Amino acid sequence: MLYAGIDAGSRTIKVLLVDADGRDVVASGIRDQGVDQEGLARELFTETLRSEGLSRRDVKRIVATGYGRDIVAFADTTVTEITCHARGVRFRAAEAMTIIDIGGQDTKVIRLADDGVVRDFAMNDRCAAGTGRFLEVVAARLGVKLEALGRMAAMARAPATINSTCVVFAESEIIGLLASGTAPQDIAAGVQNSLATRVSTLVRGNIEEPVIFTGGVALLPGMVYALETALGQSVAVAERPQFTGALGAALVAAGR
Amino acid sequence: MGQCSTKVKPTAKPHGCKSKASPCGARKTCESAQTTVEPLEWFGDMISHCLEYAEAAKAQGKPIVGIMCEYTPRELIMAAGGVPVCLCGGDPDTIPAAEKHLPSNLCPLIKSTYGYLVEGSNPFLEMADLVVAETTCDGKKKMFELMAESRPMHVLELPQKENAPAAMEHWVKELYGLKLELERRFHVRITDKKIRRAIGVMNTERALRRALAALMKSDNPPITGRQLLDFKSSISCLPEDFRMYDRALEIYGNGCPDRDLAGRVRVLMTGVPMAHGAERVLELVEDHGGLVVCMENCTGLKPIIDDVDASAGEPLDALARKYFDLPCSVKTPNAARRDSLRKLAAEYRPECVIELVWQACLTYDVETYGVKRFVEGELGLPYLRVETDYSPSDSARIAVRVQALFETVRGKAKSPRGSKAAGALKPH
């Protein structure tokens, strides 16, 4: 029997299937989030099953997580992304003590107890500054694709300082920097640094190693370095960081 | 209280009468109560009862006195023949009006209260003959200066140093000043006898509300925290309220809950008050699997835990003592708050603590760091800080935090590895 985790995030939906002991990822799929969130999740789920020649009957239990978890009506139950990230990370890296998850609209720092249970967590409030959405806005403003932002930042000579704690204000600040002739590379690096600084203030410097980095933003080259610099600690990117939440949900479904 | 009897609906269905064969004998009580409205319904209509009462009092020439803080002794106002009314705003819709004068980065409770003034839409404030303000928060203190431009106002200066004899002396003088002001303004003499009588009535109300709150100590509480929060009025000591408190104790006090609340995560809420209309966070907590068994804040137990010594030789001193000792974050170092949390945690056995902080409430927010350390370290309970305002735009974010907290609590309860920490929040 198989177990499914569905992570209905703010920007993308992820589906992941594991076998009964959780060791093998049988299938996975990802697509952009949209208006009909339930329909999109259902489609992705069906496609992911079909890609491996499976059917709904092969799946014993489905757990939904993520911002849109309550909309996934075909799930058996819902669990928050905080618990799912903890489960997903600990399953692969049993010694992990801290998780930094930067997704589309949330940034979370999750601290784990020795036994892997969530000890506490901190996350951003209303504002989306310091999240994937923030990076998208910046990439659009700098005229590059999101994936290219990290490469661009790597070429910075003197990273700019971005002070604003709000996406809208930060965007105006970037427009101002561009107008004053600051190199886009320096702005890109400055944005990564400001994001990393925000993570470090979120936890008030209270981070225990090993630190595992999850969420879509972990895929951007340069972000790990920016985080390591801001925290003064080493940070490891989770295996397939975008799927950590879905993996955790699948493991919860499997009772692992 | 005759003026309120028109509100009583004789056909209202009494609480807890669903089952004919009620095992705990509640049926008899229910039958005998066929002619009265049930307490929850009564307090659900609290504002209109208070309004009727205030209007009738005003018509009889009694002064209406607005208050905005639990440090203000209602007893003195009552002893002056006045009606103390709480003006604390809980409505997000009055905030835009307030922001014409006040900064947006200010506590929503202050803004909402002031917005009512700008709109002229709080009938209690409109009929108030006096507002008794206090210096229990810098935001309120400065807001009161603006309010004083159009309202008669008397300011109580609360000294902030906990357990300091000089601070206490000053507070006694401040209450004496209020007494003189009330006598002068309303042409009355406030005798010790009148103060004692008011103390007696207020003590009765505190005892009734305490007894209701104490029902939550049960492993299977008869009501939710949201329902308990409704058991109070903007005007204290309405005679019909007293009857309803008694009635509620009769219905819920016999251990006959009509719902099974035993499986919920027991929560102690602390931090800022939840004014009428600003119950959103409490509702989110209870909508996601929690049961708020204890509220250690100014709309909960904080002001009603201690009575005023009714037999004291100097009743004014007794009032000063009781009110000065309230553990608000404005006090320093406010060690009494931890003592209170320790005691309440032992009595109500919460599984976690959620602290609510209104945006820009500096003193409560700074205190969160120490409270978190205390709750996790000394009480050994998970702690969650929720900072928000009256706008519902972050409800989903708050819900995810609350749910994650509960998953942790349940994970701990079920297995040391937390391997079964699943939602149970959505039935399947």
pLDDT tens string B129-166? 999 999 999 999 999 999 999 999 999 999 999 999 99
Whether B24 shows a pLDDT value over 60: the answer reads no
- Inter-axis angle of helices B192-214 and B239-252, to 10 degrees? 30
Question: pLDDT tens, B300-348?
Answer: 999 999 999 999 999 999 999 999 999 999 999 999 999 999 999 999 9
* List of chain A residues whose C-beta atoms are within 8 Å of the C-beta of residue B423: 63, 77-80
Tell whether A32 lies on the interface with B, counting CB pairs under 8 A: no
A48 and A120 both lie in a single domain? no
Question: pLDDT tens, B90-117?
Answer: 999 999 999 999 999 999 999 999 999 9
Q: Is the dihedral of CA B34, B39, B42, B45 positive or negative?
A: negative
Q: How far apart are CA A165 and CA A151, in angstroms?
A: 24
> What's the pLDDT score for residue A106?
87
Confidence band for B10, pLDDT divided at 50, 70 and 90: very low
Average confidence (pLDDT) over B75-83: 98
Question: pLDDT tens, A11-26?
Answer: 999 999 999 988 889 9
Question: pLDDT tens, A23-63?
Answer: 889 999 999 999 999 999 999 999 999 999 999 999 999 99
Tell me which residue of B262, B419, B425, B289 sits closest to B354, measured CA to CA.
B289
> What's the pLDDT score for residue B4?
35
Question: pLDDT tens, B197-256?
Answer: 999 999 999 999 999 999 999 999 999 999 999 999 999 999 999 999 999 999 999 866
Whether A169 shows a pLDDT value over 50: the answer reads yes
Q: How far apart are CA A5 and CA A29, in angstroms?
A: 11
Average confidence (pLDDT) over A232-250: 96
B positions 356-385 inside 8 Å of A (CB): 376, 382-384
A184 and A204 both lie in a single domain? yes
A114 and A211 both lie in a single domain? yes
A142 and A72 both lie in a single domain? no
Average confidence (pLDDT) over B370-386: 97
Question: pLDDT tens, B294-304?
Answer: 999 999 999 99
Whether B5 shows a pLDDT value over 60: the answer reads no
Whether A87 shows a pLDDT value over 60: the answer reads yes
Q: How far apart are CA A111 and CA B78, in angstroms?
A: 52
The CA distance from A217 to the nearest CA of chain B, in Å, is 19
A201 and A111 both lie in a single domain? yes
What CATH code is carried by the domain that includes residue A8?
3.30.420.40
Nearest CA in chain B to A127: B394
A167 and A218 both lie in a single domain? yes
Q: Which helix (H) or strand (E) holds B57?
A: helix B46-59
* List of chain B residues whose C-beta atoms are within 8 Å of the C-beta of residue A125: 387-388, 394, 397
> What's the pLDDT score for residue B256?
62
A138 and A217 both lie in a single domain? yes
Tell whether B400 lies on the interface with A, counting CB pairs under 8 A: yes
**Nearby residues of B149 by Cβ (< 8 Å), 6 or more positions away:** none
Nearest CA in chain B to A204: B369
> What's the pLDDT score for residue A197?
87
Per-residue CA distances from A214 to A84, A240, A242, B14 (Å): 11, 8, 6, 53
Whether B285 shows a pLDDT value over 50: the answer reads yes
Does B404 sit within 8 Å of A83, measured CB to CB? yes
- Among the partner-chain residues A78, A118, A256, the one whose CB lies closest to the CB of B426 is A78
Average confidence (pLDDT) over B11-27: 39
Tell whether A77 lies on the interface with B, counting CB pairs under 8 A: yes
| Sequence-separated contacts (24+) of B337-344 with Cβ below 8 Å | B337/B296, B337/B367, B337/B371, B338/B371, B338/B374, B338/B378, B340/B296, B340/B302, B340/B305, B341/B268, B341/B270, B341/B296, B341/B371, B341/B374, B341/B375, B341/B379, B342/B378, B342/B379, B344/B268, B344/B294, B344/B296, B344/B301
Structural domain total, chain A: 2
Nearest CA in chain A to B387: A125
Mean pLDDT rounded to a whole number for chain A: 92
Could you give the ipTM of this predicted complex? Answer: 0.88
Peptide bond between residue B333 and the one before it cis (omega within 30 degrees of 0): yes
Does A79 sit within 8 Å of B407, measured CB to CB? yes
* List of chain A residues whose C-beta atoms are within 8 Å of the C-beta of residue B428: 76-77
Give the tokens for residue B107.
């506590």
Tell whether A127 lies on the interface with B, counting CB pairs under 8 A: no
Chain B interface test: which of A62, A118, A201, A203 (most B C-beta within 10 Å): A118
> What's the pLDDT score for residue B312?
94
Does A120 sit within 8 Å of B404, measured CB to CB? no
A156 and A184 both lie in a single domain? yes
Whether B35 shows a pLDDT value over 90: the answer reads no
Mean pLDDT rounded to a whole number for chain B: 89
Give the tokens for residue B238.
């309405």
Whether B414 shows a pLDDT value over 70: the answer reads no
A110 and A202 both lie in a single domain? yes
Q: How many CA atoms does the CB half-sphere of B176 hold within 13 Å?
A: 8
> What's the pLDDT score for residue B387?
95
Whether B266 shows a pLDDT value over 60: the answer reads yes
Average confidence (pLDDT) over A114-136: 83
Confidence band for B423, pLDDT divided at 50, 70 and 90: very low
A173 and A220 both lie in a single domain? yes
Whether B119 shows a pLDDT value over 80: the answer reads yes
Does B418 sit within 8 Å of A116, measured CB to CB? yes
* Cα angle B75-B78-B82, degrees, rounded to a multiple of 5: 145
A100 and A215 both lie in a single domain? yes
Does B422 sit within 8 Å of A77, measured CB to CB? yes
Min mean pLDDT across A90-94, A180-184, B5-9, B64-68 is at: B5-9
> What's the pLDDT score for residue B16?
40
A147 and A228 both lie in a single domain? yes
Average confidence (pLDDT) over A70-78: 96
* List of chain B residues whose C-beta atoms are within 8 Å of the C-beta of residue A117: 408, 411-412, 417-418, 421
> What's the pLDDT score for residue B427?
33
Does A63 sit within 8 Å of B394, measured CB to CB? no
Confidence band for B183, pLDDT divided at 50, 70 and 90: very high
Average confidence (pLDDT) over B15-31: 40
Provide the residue range defining the domain that includes A221. 95-237
Q: How far apart are CA B254 and CA B422, in angstroms?
A: 34
Q: How far apart are CA B198 and CA B76, in angstroms?
A: 8
> What's the pLDDT score for residue B276?
96
Helices marked H in A74-131 — which ranges? 81-92
Q: How far apart are CA A196 and CA A44, in angstroms?
A: 32
